[in-house]
Amino acid sequence: MPFQSAGEKNETLRCAGSRLSEGVTPPRDLGELFLGFLSIGARSFGGVLPWAYQAMVEERRWLTHADFTETIGLCQVLPGPNLGNASIVLGKRWFGLRGAIVAFLGLFALPYVWVLGLALLYADFASNPILHAAVTGVGAAGAGLFIATAVKLGRPLARRPAALAMIAACFLAVAIGRVSLLIVVPVAAAAGMLLSKGELL
C-alpha cells in the first residue's frame, strides 16, 4: 500500500464520509441558505415543521431523514422555537456564525410580515363568521400536517420497542397526565441517553 501523507489521509476520510451521506447536498453558499429558509418561512401556515421536513429532506436534500430527526430532537429540548433553534444549528454547521444569522433571518423574515399584516386584518374583522371559520380550518389543517410529519419522523423507530415505549410514555404523561414539559423533557432526554448507551435506540 503506498504511503499517504496526513493531508491525503484526511481527504480519504472526507470522501468516505461523503459516500456515507450520498445524495445529501448542503447549501453551496449563504444566498442558497437564506432562500431555502425563506421558502420554509413563507409557506409555514399551520406549523413550520412539515414544511421544513419537505424542503430540507425531500426537495433540497440538505439533510438525511435521520439527521433531520436528530437535529429537531436536540432543538426540542432547548428553549425557544424548534425550527428557530434548528436554523441556527444548521446555519452554523454549514457556514459558521454568518450562516446561523442568515438562516435565522431567512426563516423569520416573511412570517414577521405575515403576522403583522394578518393581525391588522384580524383586529378589524374578528367578529366575521367567515373569518372565524377560516381560522378554525387552518388550525385543523395544521394539526393534520403536524401528525403526518410526526408519523414520517417516527416510522424508522417502529421496529425499536424501547423507542415506542418512550413515545407512549411521553404521550401519556403530557396528554393524559398533564405533566409539565419542564419535567417530561429532561427525564425523557436522560432516558434516551441511557437507552442509546445500551444500543436500544
186: left (phi over 0), alpha (psi -120 to 50) or beta: alpha
Residues 6+ apart with CB under 8 A from 163: 157, 195, 201
Grid coordinates belonging to 31 = 444566498
Q: What is the DSSP letter of 57?
A: I
Count of CB atoms situated within 10 Å of the CB of 90 = 26
Residues 6+ apart with CB under 8 A from 170: 184, 188
> Under a CB-based contact definition with an 8 Å cutoff, are residues 33 and 89 in contact?
no
The single residue listed with the C-alpha cell 395544521 is 142
Integer-rounded Cα radius of gyration of the chain = 20
pLDDT per residue as tens, the chain (201 positions)? 344 444 444 444 344 344 345 578 999 999 999 999 999 988 877 678 888 998 999 999 999 988 998 898 888 777 788 889 999 999 999 999 999 999 999 999 988 888 888 777 777 776 778 777 777 787 777 777 777 777 777 777 777 888 888 888 988 998 899 998 889 888 988 888 888 787 776
User: What is the rounded CA–CA span in Å between residue 195 and residue 193?
Assistant: 5
Grid coordinates belonging to 161 = 420497542
Question: What local confidence, expressed as pLDDT, does residue 9 receive?
Answer: 41
Question: What local confidence, expressed as pLDDT, does residue 22 receive?
Answer: 56
Q: Which of 23, 20, 73 is nearest to 201 (CA)?
A: 73
CA 124 remoteness from chain centre: 34
User: What is the rounded CA–CA span in Å between residue 201 and residue 24?
Assistant: 24
CA 155 remoteness from chain centre: 16
What pTM was computed for the model?
A: 0.65
Grid coordinates belonging to 184 = 417530561
